[in-house]
Structure 1
Amino acid sequence: MYITRVSKFLPNNAVSNDEMESVLGQINKTPSKARRIVLRNNGIKERYYAIDKEGNITHTNAELTRKAVENLFDGSFTGQDIEVLSCGTSSPDQIGPSHAAMVHGLLANKNLELNSASGICCAGIASLKYGFLSIKAENSNNAVCTGSERISTWMLADKYDKETENLKKLKAQPIIAFKKDFLRWMLSDGAGAMLLENKKNEKGISLRIDWIEIYSYAHELETCMYAGAEKQEDGTLKSWSEYPSDEWLKQSLFSVKQDVKLLDENILEKGVDSLKMAFEKNRVDETKINYFLPHISSFYFADKLNKLFKERGLNIPDEAWFTNLDRVGNIGSASIYVMLEELFNSGKLQEGDTIILSVPESGRFSYAYVHLTVCC
């Protein structure tokens, strides 16, 4: 079981920190008070949006994904060779049909098996695991797996106009809650794709998939990151479909929100707990890992996570850490694909090198891990 190709697609030109608000817009025509604080903590310098400098939307999520998939193609592998298409995202273009069906429609290649994985950041690894298991069960010889996001259009300032108008009517400050404004400066767009095959490349490197582990703590913890709902006093979510339609805009129900306090209290603790379980189950000597690719939403967490690893006896070498968060931004379920694409095509990998992909998801605290070995 091998990853034989990895590709990405990032739309338009990189957007700097100083350009972000001109692209996304100012809510209530007022500069965000949270922007500089959030950017200082997350350490992101550039990101990509499927919106051009004139404010035109340039790509759908499905189009971003199609382009990433097509970047896998060459004379020896084309769309006609795909057997399974498995697509993960947290920001599909519509509630239905499925995201994978829309990508398949754009590829317009041939009849094939589809899978759509939903969720938040772990959706990309859930997509990967479906392809992995399909080949492992000898149901297919190959699978194209993707992670993608087009979240920028969810964060445009005009999406909050009705809410700020409603706050003014209530004689309240027309300032959007931090749980919403915070994420406007965290998330960005892009897509990644991997080709999985039951044989390794004849030339160049391949990545053997040794195992994939996914854990959920939803049985213990309430929702932290969500969209299309509002969190109640008891921690439950009330769905958009249970609200009168005029409340959808007044409360920005479809905006992405995050309970920052809950995030800070649990994301690292459960991450260390689950990684230890994965390593113990698969008998991994973490001191021999060559590359550790953590999907971290912010550099704010990096040192804290590394310190907690060491306190709990997880001695992953400092030199093994690899991330491109500062250069491409936090692309949710696509981040780990875009990170691995850079490493895969860097020329650094040597036969026998081991790689750990680590993906946390704050939705209701899920974690996914993949162990890879470089083969030539």
Structure 2
Amino acid sequence: MKEVFITRVAKYLPNNPVSIDEMETYLGFINGKPSRAKKIVLRNNGIKTRYYALNKEGNITHNNAQLAAEAVRSLFDKSFKEDDIELLACGTSYPDQIMPSHAIMVHGYLGGRPLETYSPMGNCCSGMHALKIGYMSILSENTSNAVIVGSELCSPMLQAKNYEEEAKKIGEMDENPILAFEKDFLRWMLSDGSGAFLLEDKPAEKGLSLKIEWVDSISFANEVETCMYAASDKDENGNLISFKQMEPKAIADNSVMAMKQDVKLLDQNISQLAARALKGICKKRNFDVKEVSYVLPHLSSEFFRNKIAEELIKCNLDIPQEKWFTNLTSVGNIGAASVFVMVEEIINSGKLNIGDKLLLAVPESARFSYSYALLTVC
């Protein structure tokens, strides 16, 4: 089999960084009142600045496919152009439309020649699933290169206007209405942006490359109910009910299209299943975490940092936190794009040396799935 290398990396973070004090200027006030959950959530997640593809008037400046295309364009130069892409795989949590597929729309913005595209569905792991598609395509000699993208456009879904009908309904029943925490929680967690990799069957002629040793994913949906969801709702038994089964008025009245998260379920499972997933992968790959130079963990919140570290220690997988490379506090939680942006930042940080091993770690709380990849600097 051929070897596969990440030879170019790029990111695109739209507009100017948004401070925590500015967030409601962009997202708006539900029922005309400041969020009660905001301070609690921001204190725990540790995010100081983030990026929105919105202006202060609440208008979208880039759609999701455009964000992805901007990151891809940053990979191009005289020696690699649109027409040189052989495969395009794009992962995201919430595309601009249900159909056509996300990667098709990104291809439309990029132009160039006809090419093979893939749009893995999912949440945070979808970018890693796209990475595996490109990795396996080159390994199997289906293509000699692949462009892989992770992107997110969450901010429009978090704007107050999306909750107005539900807020009116709550207001009619309660003199002191407040949006359910599982909805308000995510308004202060998520950010916009994109990142892209160029994968090739040989290292770059200049600069550092990252050899992909393996990419593995595992789902625990057989054991745990849905935790993060959109375009659906949960019944009293934890079953997910699709918007297709609902009346249009019920969809608006209950903000069904908005993203929701069961915070208790998240806290009970996300850390211990992350350690369990990694333990299984280490056994499968005969890999010892002591070999890791840096781990790049996609943290949704700093709240989970120590919890994850404790679970890793319990499983004899201790990776000292001085080896953790994160950028959550400065760019926010960009979902499927987070790991791409972390790789771009560390490869340009001056920290890496030939032979260093990077462990990419991406948890996905939607129904608890995890993706890990091992890269070697060369």
TM-score, structure 1 length as denominator? 0.98
Give the alignment of 1:273-352 within 5 angstroms: 273-352=276-355
Indicate which of 29, 32, 36 corresponds to 2:35: 32
Return the match for 1:109 from 108, 112, 115: 112
Deviations 1:242-295 (A, max 9, x none): 101111110000000000000000001110000011112112221221010000
Partner SS, residue 79 of structure 2: coil
2:29 corresponds to which letter in structure 1? Q
Q: Which residue of 2 aligns with 1:154?
A: 157
1:225 to 221, 224, 228: 228
Between the aligned partners of 2:116 and 2:308, the Cα distance in structure 1 is 39
Pick which of 144-153 and 279-288 moved more: 279-288
Indicate yes or no: 2:214 matched with 1:211. yes
Q: Which runs of 5+ in 1 are unaligned?
A: none
Tell whether 2:44 aligns with 1:78: no
Task: Give % identity.
Answer: 54
1:54-92 superposed Cα distances (whole Å, 9 cap, x missing partner): 322100000000000000111111111000000000110
CA distance in 1, matches of 2:95, 2:222: 26
- Whether the 8 Å contact between 1:289 and 1:317 is mirrored in structure 2 is no
Counterpart amino acid of residue 7 in structure 2: T
Partner secondary structure for residue 199 of structure 2: strand
Query: 1:221 and 1:339 mapped to 2: Cα distance?
Result: 29
Q: Which amino acid aligns with 1:127?
A: A
Aligned counterparts of 1:172 and 1:268: Cα–Cα separation in 2: 38
The 5 A counterparts of 1:85-234 are 85-171=88-174, 173-234=176-237
3-state SS of 2:21 partner: helix
SS in 1 for 2:22: helix
TM-score by length of 2: 0.98
CA RMSD of aligned residues (A): 0.9
Distance 1:300 1:349 in 2: 27
- Match status 1:262 vs 2:265: yes
Distance in 2 between residues matched to 1:308 and 1:171, nearest whole Å: 42
| Aligned residue number for residue 23 of structure 1 | 26
SS in 1 for 2:241: strand
Task: Find the counterpart in structure 2 of residue 365 from structure 1.
Answer: 368
The equivalent of 1:250 in structure 2 is 253
Alignment gaps of 5+ in structure 2: none
User: What is the aligned counterpart of 2:49 among 46, 50, 66?
Assistant: 46
Is the deviation greater in 306-315 or in 92-101? 306-315
